[in-house]
Chain A
Amino acid sequence: MTRISRLEKIGNTLKQINVGFLIQFSVSLLVLFMVLYPIGWLWLGSIRTEPFAPDYTLSWYLKIFSDAVLWQRLTNTLKITIGTGILSLIIGLPIAWIVARTDTPFSKKFELIAVVPFMTAPLIGALAWTNLAAPRTGLLNLLYRFVFDSSLKHGPLNIYSMWGIIFCLGLYYSPYVFLFTAGALRSMDPALEEASRISGCNIIRTTFKITLPLVYPAITSGVLLAMVFAAGQFAVPALLGTPAQFSVMTTTIYELMNRWPINRSLAAAIGNLLVLFTFLLLYLRGKLLSKGAFTTVTGKGYRPDIIRLGKWKYVTFSFCLLYAIVVFGLPMFALIYSSLVKYWSVKIGLHRLGFWNYTYLFTEHSLTFVAIKNSLLLAVFGATACIFISSIISFIVHRGKSRWTPLLDYVAMMPIGVPGVVFAVGVLLGWIRPPFVLYGTLGILIVGYISRFNPVGIRAVSSSLVQVHPELEESSRVAGSSWAGTLLRITLPLVKPGMQAGWMTLFIVFLREFGISLFLYSPGNEVVSIMLYEFWENGDMMKASALSIVLMVVTVISIIIMRRLTGADIAGMKS
């Protein structure tokens, strides 16, 4: 009896299996594999004497804590992480408050500039600041010495230092603090502040007693995110730290993977420690958000309370203007200038400018077209494949009823907390040897990109999907449409904006990707960022700058084309 009913059960289950289920099931497995396989190799590699030798040891972890040099690099990472957190707060918080809550002129324009760092890669930012503040040849230093003290040989600014790294990272990750805080300030019920005014507190007291404590979760969440990215950043410490022999965990991993004596197990061990650190930060952030997510009952639509600053608005305007110059004006100027000179010289003159570097790139350097082609190919194909996978995962996570969906959600989102270079080590170890050999092809880059940046796509699609009430789909089913028909005719059209935005974001991320590419590329498979890095390594700042400009132009043109075609915006950047 029991046997028959069990057989019946299996038969019923088989009947329920259909195309939709098969797609969902196989994509889930694929994503689980793409994430867990490289991470598994990271752990396995770190507890072996050699990643591919079956001798197990904990010595690499012990070495990190006993070796003075390695220990110092750990603390260096800690220092730039904390420094970046503090600087992004100092920059992001005032800008958020100014833009969201004051009548400072042109504050809407500054809002656009504040997201510029999202658009330009950290690699390019670091390059621009090398042009500006390298101790001997930086433009700002040249200007200072020309105006004030021509006896100096270098300085006063030195971007090749820990402070230089913190400065760059703080500048480029401050938009996280800005966006989170400005969003919270805007969505806050103004009655909360008005109640405080009525209770006898003036504007300043109200700001400190009510406003700031209420947006505190948003501020901290932005700061912690900036710290997570700073800890895992590779390009900026590589460009700015290397000349000063200042190494952090990410640059150490690169050295161990590529320079003699190569030690991939130690690299994996350091990578795992870094992952533990970033996950700790993300855990703190999650805890904070779940505990401090203040919900406020809101009635009618309201206008946020705009504070009239009077003459103080010139102070806030100057602060914003300074930010715009430092984050956008100066770097752009430095890149353009540098890309137009043939030899870097202390003397500056218009007659020295020309298009030599561009001519070189497009006529003499055969790699340029290969790299641009590779980057575009990876970006278009990668973004398309990735958004397909992201959409299915997002759909399962938000509509699935299985008890495994939270696990799938967790694993699929996990790579966001794994620094690119660390993830790349895992991908390299996993896809270099049988049964999965992808190294030496563009395929390993695609696999690396998709597995690492799938969370970006999921987030974009999910933000659309959560706005589609399940009743919209249910009413379609009741009206006689099948699961697939509902998906095609109701759900997909409604989440299309999210998918388009996700595609755009992934496209831009892939076009300029550096951290993963540097570990996974092989000769013939160079992408633009690799070429840029090679120019820089050979000391050819002018050509690196020219290529940066080319990359930015390609990015902007692509965005314009995509917007023309779809009207899509980049995820999280809708004004």
Chain B
Amino acid sequence: MSEIRIQNLNKTFDKGAVKAIDNLSLTIREGSIVALLGPSGCGKTTTLRCVGGLELPDSGKIFFGERLVCCPDEKVYVPPEKRGLGMVFQSYAIWPHMNVFENVAFPLRRQKIDKEEIRKKVMEALELVGLAGLESRYPTKMSGGQQQRVAFARAIAPRPEALLFDEPLSNLDAKLREKMRFDIVALQKSTHITTIYVTHDQAEAMVIADKIAVMNQGVIEQIGTAREIYDQPGSRFVAGFIGLTNFARGRIASKGSGQQEWLVDSKELGTRIVGISDKDFKPDQKVTLSVRPENIMLSREQPEGDLNIVGGRIERTTYIGEYSDILIRVNAVELRVHSPTHLRFDQGDHVFLAFPPQRCNLLAR
């Protein structure tokens, strides 16, 4: 169990035509679990495969603790079988010609331990994933969820340096997927194995990971806890990719009174808005305001004060159950608002929208 350090990793495909990973650096602390989250083609799986040794990067370094496992410039390349890892694949990759026991025992047989020890470790691993008693079954006769558990057991049985997950839940149905998320967290917490988890599902990343690295076009756009990523997205991409949000363009007017507060003139909204950002903006700099639907307050009467309040007209309301999804035209833009269902609004109503300054994220453009 060790820390994984990725330094300045680069990888191109098709002889340089496609840049899969662009100078990526990332450290996964010992015993923690980091999710690589992003749309397909963002380079998350390629990054994972470079760590696993299944893909050779063009340049950069990968360390497991103090051990350098990959550095093309120094002609260092430790093949996957010598890296001491466990990996769970999207397709499970359970060998159909072996039964459950043989599958889980397979990585153990390459270690110099005797048969009794192997048996003990396999049983332990199967116990951990809740498959005790099924060791003589053949995986082709098992359900997707069970196969998934076999794959987990095989990955953790040799107590690897690190665990790599490549979208392991994407082939399961929704109910099972939700349950398995918590099982994976419990498993990882009980074994304390450093883990990289690749997914395109934000809810999955939020449940599972200590830290989420949001990737786009081979670059990590932002890394942080689920709360940080959601509440303080660092870029327009992150704000748009994680959850729903509304965007409005504007220009910086001046520094606001509070910490990290800025005044923004938005022609699209037709008003001046107070928002927050930890960045240092210059006057007249172009910015994008991002505010999530559930953070906009709706009312019929004009609220007190005149800051961060605009009027609009309701275009469409949809009752979802947990909330009402309301589309409102404000000046030149349409905004989506999630409003409590006890407040009844109808199409055509004129309403006031209030944006709490702490919920208005300003993103550089």
* Interface of A toward B, CB cutoff 8 Å: 189, 191-192, 194-202, 210, 213-214, 216, 294-300
The distance in angstroms between the C-alpha atoms of A294 and B110, with both chains bound, is: 25
Contacts of A216 in B (CB 8 A): 97
The distance in angstroms between the C-alpha atoms of A199 and B40, with both chains bound, is: 27
The distance in angstroms between the C-alpha atoms of A524 and B249, with both chains bound, is: 90
User: With A197-B53, A199-B154, A200-B81 known to touch, is A299 a contact of B95 (CB < 8 Å)?
Assistant: no
User: Are the CB atoms of B95 and A192 closer together than 8 Å?
Assistant: yes
Q: Which residue of B lies closest to A299 (CB)?
A: B90
Q: Which of the residues B81, B85, B95, B154 comes within 8 Å of A214, measured between beta carbons?
A: B95
Q: 1/0 per residue B79-98: CB within 8 Å of A?
A: 11111111101111101110
The distance in angstroms between the C-alpha atoms of A191 and B93, with both chains bound, is: 5
User: Are the CB atoms of A194 and B97 closer together than 8 Å?
Assistant: no
Question: Could you write out 6 A-B pairs with CB less than 8 Å apart?
Answer: A189-B93, A194-B87, A200-B107, A294-B140, A295-B140, A296-B91
Residues in B156-185 with C-beta less than 8 Å from chain A: 158, 164, 167, 170-171
Tally B residues with Cβ within 8 Å of A.
34
The distance in angstroms between the C-alpha atoms of A372 and B53, with both chains bound, is: 61
User: With A199-B154, A294-B140 known to touch, is A192 a contact of B93 (CB < 8 Å)?
Assistant: yes
Contacts of B31 in A (CB 8 A): none
Give 11 new A-B contacts, CB below 8 A, not counting A191-B89, A199-B106.
Answer: A189-B93, A191-B91, A192-B95, A195-B154, A198-B52, A198-B80, A198-B86, A199-B110, A296-B91, A297-B144, A300-B40
User: Are the CB atoms of A202 and B81 closer together than 8 Å?
Assistant: yes
The distance in angstroms between the C-alpha atoms of A213 and B97, with both chains bound, is: 7
User: Are the CB atoms of A194 and B80 closer together than 8 Å?
Assistant: yes
User: With A194-B87, A297-B171, A300-B90 known to touch, is A199 a contact of B97 (CB < 8 Å)?
Assistant: no
Q: Which residue of B lies closest to A195 (CB)?
A: B93
The distance in angstroms between the C-alpha atoms of A197 and B79, with both chains bound, is: 8
User: Are the CB atoms of A297 and B91 closer together than 8 Å?
Assistant: yes
Contacts of B82 in A (CB 8 A): 200
User: Are the CB atoms of A197 and B80 closer together than 8 Å?
Assistant: yes
* Interface of B toward A, CB cutoff 8 Å: 40, 52-54, 79-87, 89-93, 95-97, 106-107, 110-111, 140, 144, 147, 154, 158, 164, 167, 170-171
Contacts of A297 in B (CB 8 A): 91-92, 144, 147, 171
Contacts of B83 in A (CB 8 A): 198
User: With A194-B54, A196-B106, A197-B53 known to touch, is A214 a contact of B87 (CB < 8 Å)?
Assistant: no
Contacts of B96 in A (CB 8 A): 214, 294-296
Q: Which of the residues B84, B89, B170 comes within 8 Å of A195, measured between beta carbons?
A: B89
Contacts of A196 in B (CB 8 A): 95, 106
Q: Which residue of B lies closest to A200 (CB)?
A: B110
User: With A214-B97, A299-B171 known to touch, is A201 a contact of B87 (CB < 8 Å)?
Assistant: no
- For the complex formed, measure the closest distance between the CB of B157 and the CB atoms of chain A, giving whole angstroms: 9
User: Are the CB atoms of B91 and A189 closer together than 8 Å?
Assistant: yes
Q: What are the 10 closest A-B residue pairs judged by CB atoms, nearest first?
A: A200-B110, A199-B107, A191-B93, A294-B96, A197-B80, A195-B93, A191-B89, A299-B90, A198-B87, A200-B81
The distance in angstroms between the C-alpha atoms of A549 and B224, with both chains bound, is: 73
Q: Which residue of B lies closest to A216 (CB)?
A: B97
- For the complex formed, measure the closest distance between the CB of B244 and the CB atoms of chain A, giving whole angstroms: 26
Q: Which residue of B lies closest to A302 (CB)?
A: B91
- For the complex formed, measure the closest distance between the CB of A309 and the CB atoms of chain B, giving whole angstroms: 15
User: Are the CB atoms of A210 and B54 closer together than 8 Å?
Assistant: no
User: Are the CB atoms of B89 and A298 closer together than 8 Å?
Assistant: no
Contacts of A296 in B (CB 8 A): 91, 93, 96
The distance in angstroms between the C-alpha atoms of A243 and B110, with both chains bound, is: 57
User: With A194-B93, A199-B154, A214-B95 known to touch, is A299 a contact of B110 (CB < 8 Å)?
Assistant: no
Q: Which residue of B lies closest to A298 (CB)?
A: B91
- For the complex formed, measure the closest distance between the CB of A219 and the CB atoms of chain B, giving whole angstroms: 13
- For the complex formed, measure the closest distance between the CB of B51 and the CB atoms of chain A, giving whole angstroms: 11
The distance in angstroms between the C-alpha atoms of A216 and B54, with both chains bound, is: 25
Q: Which residue of A lies closest to B54 (CB)?
A: A194
